A and B are shown apart, each in its own frame.
Chain A
Amino acid sequence: MGARLASPHGQSGGKAAFEAEALSSVDSLYRTALRLTRVPADAEDLVQDTYLKAFRAADSFEPGTNLRAWLFTILHNTARNRIRDRARDTVTVDSETVEQAAEQPSFSNGGPVPTPETLLLNEALTPELQSAVDHLPDAFRQVVWLRDVEEFSYAEIAAMLGIPVGTVMSRISRGRRLLFERLKHLQPAHV
């Protein structure tokens, strides 16, 4: 998915290509930063910091690896450090409780489950989906976002968030199930 680049070192053309390629991720970094901070001004700060660090640390980028994933890793590390600096704990807040809640098997009672098609045909879902995603606890929103919107691999997400791949998968699973719980009441009845 991400572009595989030549080394940022050496000739200036390589460096320019590296910088141009890095800057082409500004939209997706900003969107993701907005999900992390929820405040546009903070998201902009975070993205700026990310580029500042990325360009300074260009030498540590491993040519041939995914530049976009590398930038996202810097973004998440920067966000975590800020949260630590401010002595806040928004990332893992109440995740245990939510993980337990997500285990409630209300969706596995053998009842009818709407097909993806019936969900997708329902245009009214769009604002509901956005709202449901925004209301997911941070730990689940991050992984579902990185997987289903930004389309990173489990391993890339694990590296970004500093958590094991198994945890990435279980959080994606629980995040999606939570979304389903929030959205299923919107289904046309008896489909």
Chain B
Amino acid sequence: MSDCQSIDLLVTPFIDGELPAQDRERVERHLRVCAPCHSRVDAERTVRTLMKGRQSLFKGESAPVALRVKCAGHCGMAAAGHALKSRWRRVMPLAAAAVIVLGAGGVLLYQATSRSARVMAAELAADHVTCFAIHASRIEQSADAVEAAMMATFGWTVDLPEGGDDELELIGSRPCLYGGGRIAHIMYRHRGEPMSLFMLPKASYDREMFETLGHECAIWSSGDRTCVLVSREAPAEVARLAAQVQPTFH
């Protein structure tokens, strides 16, 4: 094997900085005296530098939101076995229901200020009805899966603690269609009745509660986030749940 041929095998790890010192020196010695090999190394190194310099271009492609949600929906498979059934229908508390930390990243696209509270509440109530009609029977997420979905879809670290109100059952989470998928929608059943907790990355609404589309909507802000609770239950009960659900934002 000629010097050039034997060097050729080392060129790529040499360029990538993966060669042991001894081999590296051997390549360097050869390159000093062999113009063809030197120019070949330059060519490969040029492309490597170019590719790395354009990484952000290639990495600009993100997975569609729908795909993120579907993938997050596969969570819980790791728990296969006898514990599966009990994990699916884990009873969730509403007390301190969500500790939300907004992660870095430009997800604050939703402009809450552009809509009135009543328009927003009506759309969320419609979304609440739609989601329960279409998805509630198919979604069976564990609290862990909801947390993972919040992270994957919104970049939020959401902590759903255990223990508490036995009457509240977690169903799962979805990115709400309203607001371009930038609103977290956590679906519950309270005493068997559908109940939704929506979380918006903006605080532009006063605390209020009113009826819209046959649902009671409680709106409040905490930190720089807005929460909306939607349920068909009586106003007093919705007010009680809203007071109970107060998430802590960091």
Give me the interface of A with B, judged by CB distance under 8 Å: 8, 12, 15-16, 18-20, 23-24, 26-31, 34, 44, 47-48, 51-52, 55-56, 58-59, 105, 107-111, 113-116, 119-120, 125-126, 129-130, 133, 144-145, 147-149, 154, 166, 169-170, 172-173, 176-177, 179-180, 183-184
Q: Determine the interface band of chain B, counting residues with CB < 8 A from chain A.
A: 35 or more
Q: Which residue of B lies closest to A122 (CB)?
A: B50
Cα-based distance from A19 to B39 in the complex (angstroms): 46
Cα-based distance from A136 to B55 in the complex (angstroms): 17
Q: Which residue of A lies closest to B45 (CB)?
A: A116
Interchain CB contact under 8 A, B36 and A31: no
Cα-based distance from A31 to B58 in the complex (angstroms): 8
A-B contact count (CB 8 A): 162
Q: Which of B36, B55, B74, B152 lies in contact with A105, CB distance below 8 A?
A: B36
A19-B148, A56-B77, A56-B78 known; 4 other A-B pairs, CB under 8 Å?
A: A15-B144, A55-B78, A113-B43, A126-B54
Which listed segment binds A: B10-18, B178-186, B228-236?
A: B10-18
| Contact (A30, B54) CB under 8 Å given A15-B78, A55-B76, A115-B46 | no
Task: Indicate if B44 sits at the interface (CB-CB under 8 A).
Answer: yes
| Contact (A47, B46) CB under 8 Å given A31-B59, A56-B77, A177-B40 | no
Interchain CB contact under 8 A, B44 and A173: yes
**Nearest CB in chain B: distance from A30 CB, A:** 4
Task: Indicate if B206 sits at the interface (CB-CB under 8 A).
Answer: no
Which listed segment binds A: B65-73, B130-138, B242-250?
A: B65-73
Q: List 29 A-B contacts (CB under 8 A).
A: A16-B148, A19-B145, A20-B151, A23-B71, A23-B75, A23-B152, A26-B71, A29-B63, A30-B62, A44-B70, A58-B78, A105-B40, A108-B36, A110-B35, A114-B46, A119-B46, A120-B53, A129-B51, A147-B16, A148-B48, A148-B55, A149-B55, A149-B58, A149-B59, A169-B12, A169-B13, A173-B44, A176-B48, A179-B50
List of A residues within 8 angstroms of B63 by Cβ: 26-27, 29-30, 44, 47
Interchain CB contact under 8 A, A149 and B12: no
Interchain CB contact under 8 A, A125 and B50: yes
**Nearest CB in chain B: distance from A35 CB, A:** 9
